[in-house]
């Protein structure tokens, strides 16, 4: 099926030490390892990256066109502010699942609006590191349906 680009935004490199009562004790590296294992089981390769810089995330989204089947994306705080990330996702037109460790709708009011949601096929939040795995499962299922729908009938 190809590759899935997994992007994590600002401060996610601090998982495991950053507000463990909110985000848990699992590190981003551990989440990436689990994603690689799950991806292998699902028949996709994982290209996992993290950046604190919005422009770098935009560049990586643009480079996914023609190289990846889909995107799994935790934009962190950029979720609520970034029109640039929304525009990049719309430009590449790759299926994207938004993921969050916590549940933004249950937090501060300013976190309840996702700027990128309209460019995504779905959202998984509130399950800690498992949000990434659940998001990957959903993205791969979506990609499999797309492939099946485009195959000629054999009858």
Point out the residues that are catalytic: 23, 100
How far is the C-alpha of 46 from the C-alpha of 38, rounded, in Å?
9
Coil, helix or strand at residue 153 = coil
- Which uninterrupted H or E stretch holds 46? strand 44-50
How far is the C-alpha of 18 from the C-alpha of 60, rounded, in Å?
25
| 28-36, Cβ contacts within 8 angstroms, sequence gap of 24 or more | 30/129, 31/129, 31/132, 32/6, 34/129, 34/132, 34/133, 35/6, 35/72, 35/132, 35/133, 35/136
How far is the C-alpha of 54 from the C-alpha of 77, rounded, in Å?
10
How far is the C-alpha of 69 from the C-alpha of 139, rounded, in Å?
9
């Amino acid at each position: 099926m190809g590759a899935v680009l997994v992007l994590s935004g600002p401060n996610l490199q601090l998982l495991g030490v950053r507000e463990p009562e909110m985000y848990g004790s699992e590190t981003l590296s551990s989440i990436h390892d689990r994603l690689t294992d799950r991806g292998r089981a699902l028949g996709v390769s994982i290209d996992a990256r993290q950046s604190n810089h919005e422009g770098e995330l935009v560049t990586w989204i643009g480079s996914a066109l023609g190289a990846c089947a889909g995107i799994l994306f935790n934009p962190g705080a950029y979720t609520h502010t970034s029109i640039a990330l929304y525009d990049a996702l719309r430009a590449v037109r790759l299926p994207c699942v938004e993921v969050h460790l916590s549940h933004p709708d249950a937090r501060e009011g300013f976190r309840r609006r996702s700027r990128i949601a309209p460019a995504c096929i779905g959202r998984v939040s509130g399950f800690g590191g498992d949000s990434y795995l659940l998001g990957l499962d959903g993205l791969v299922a979506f990609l499999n349906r797309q492939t099946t729908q485009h195959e000629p009938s054999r009858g």
